[in-house]
A = this chain, B = another copy of it.
Amino acid sequence: MTYCVGLLLKAGMVLLSDTRTNAGLDNIATYRKMFVFEEPGERCITVLTAGSLSVTQTTIARLREAIEHPDTAEDASIMAAHTMLDVAEIVGATLASVRHDINSKMEMSKVSTAASMILAGQRKGGAMRMFLIYPEGNFIEATEDTPYLQIGEHKYGKPILDRVVTPDTTLEDARKAVLLSMDSTLRSNLSVGMPLDFAVIAKDACRISDQQRIEPNDEDFRAMSQAWSNALRDGFLKITI
């Protein structure tokens, strides 16, 4: 499985993904699930992926091909699309078409080809927008009421987001929130694993303002995880009922 989360805040968009993939518990591997398409200052698009690796890799490959050869590609290029809504339509259509192609090969084996994506981006002059794209290619959008989207193993890390994230959350606090949300998921579910990919797209920057790969031995992450454990334990001890 996977855990990816994206926050759409007034100050910008904050994204985090893990890197574990597995074909059965006895075959795990590390694959990047965060993909950036960027023309700095003009347009910045980030895609996070969950689900069948062959489907998500082929989808990303086709999106790249369409950018490089926009004339010959069936779908238009996401770097040329006029709006983020058009980008979501292109990504959704590509995902659904790849799934359809691969599904026909998989019918015999009953292996799931479901995959979903978080799409976040902004083009110059447009608004920041963030979408959750379903395996069928349709999508929903993050709003003020629900300023975050999750794909994959989303339940363990949801309570902390529900409690601390609002559209007014700062980018710094948002970083903490997604890392703690991931920390809870990592502790409770083996199918989600380090390293992590973290990115921020500050509002109107139209570029990746901050990007980081957090390795398993990252001292800061380990210290944060420990501090959070201690805070939870202290809070737990203080509560009386």
Q: Which chain A residues have a beta carbon within 8 Å of chain B's beta carbons?
A: 153, 155-156, 158-160, 162-164, 173, 175-177, 179-180, 184, 187-189, 220-221, 223-224, 227-229, 231-236, 238-241
Task: Let me know if B234 and A180 touch, CB within 8 A.
Answer: no
Could you show 26 A-B contacts with beta carbons less than 8 Å apart? A153-B155, A155-B156, A155-B188, A156-B158, A156-B159, A158-B188, A159-B159, A159-B187, A159-B188, A160-B236, A162-B187, A162-B188, A163-B187, A163-B229, A164-B233, A173-B236, A175-B241, A179-B241, A223-B241, A224-B241, A227-B238, A231-B235, A232-B232, A232-B235, A234-B235, A235-B235
A224 touches B236 (CB 8 A): no
Other than the given A153-B155, A176-B239, A231-B231, 15 more pairs (CB < 8 A) read: A155-B188, A159-B159, A159-B184, A162-B187, A163-B229, A164-B232, A164-B236, A176-B236, A176-B241, A223-B241, A224-B240, A227-B239, A228-B235, A231-B232, A231-B235
